[in-house]
Amino acid sequence: MSNIARSTHPGFMDYVRRDLYLSISSSSDACAPLLFFCMVITLVPLSISPNPEQLAELAPGLVWIMALLATLLSIERIFVFDHEDGSLEQMLIAPNMMTFSVLGKIIAHWLSTGLPLTLLSPAVGLMLALPENAYGPMVISLGLGTAYLSLVGAVIASLTVSLGRGGFLISLLAVPLYMPILVFGTSTVTYAVAHMPWSGPLAIMGAMLALALVLCPLAASAILRVTHSG
């Protein structure tokens, strides 16, 4: 294992690098959300209709639902491996501020899951006959939205990490909290497809992301300290 993975008291950037390294090392876990995203979207034209107009009408909702479900597959990876190998206890007793360590892990999760989904979305839009004017709003909204999903997902993961691999419980807790970003993300792309102003829902997404960026690392850190205080 590399020096990054061995670090006893890593800081913010150390956690980003460490978790990215671990994601690359366990490539099967890291690729699972991307494969799920691609496979399901590829099957949609076969199962619903190959009609480009009908696909373009369904595309905004389909892309966002699949991105949300793909993110759910990787949420538990934020903390579960640290819990299993004892790194989480080291993070709790580390002298540096734990919130920055948690934020580093969240950013690493987004870089290994949300960013690839965002970069892959234009190819998905092409398969679903999405109009060219909707590609920009889709990529921007997914970039903001997947970052929000990682932040909120970290709070859910901190609640369930002591249970091991949460599975269904994580999905049960996360889906209601993901609904607002799903609604505004879908609206952004839908408005673009309809040639309507889409900056409104995108601005709301930006506000939600800013709020989550402040609150979620603090909440996840506090929950981890409470659940592991004994």
Mean pLDDT, consecutive 10-residue segments, the chain of 230 residues? 41 76 67 80 76 82 89 82 72 72 89 91 87 93 95 90 68 88 95 93 97 94 78
pLDDT of residue 119: 93
Residue 128's nearest CA partner among 228, 179, 58, 198 is 58
pLDDT of residue 26: 65
User: What's the rounded Cα separation, in Å, for the pair 144 and 210?
Assistant: 10
pTM of the model: 0.85
pLDDT digits 0-9 by tens, 135-145: 999 999 999 99
pLDDT of residue 165: 59
User: What's the rounded Cα separation, in Å, for the pair 60 and 72?
Assistant: 19
Number of compact structural domains in the chain: 1
DSSP designation for 171: H
Residue 76's nearest CA partner among 179, 153, 142 is 153
Helix (H, G, I), strand (E, B) or coil at 165: coil
Residue 197, domain extent: 3-227
Residue 196 burial (10 A CB sphere; 0-12, 13-18, 19+): exposed
Per the structure block, which two tokens stand in for 52? Answer: 């480009």
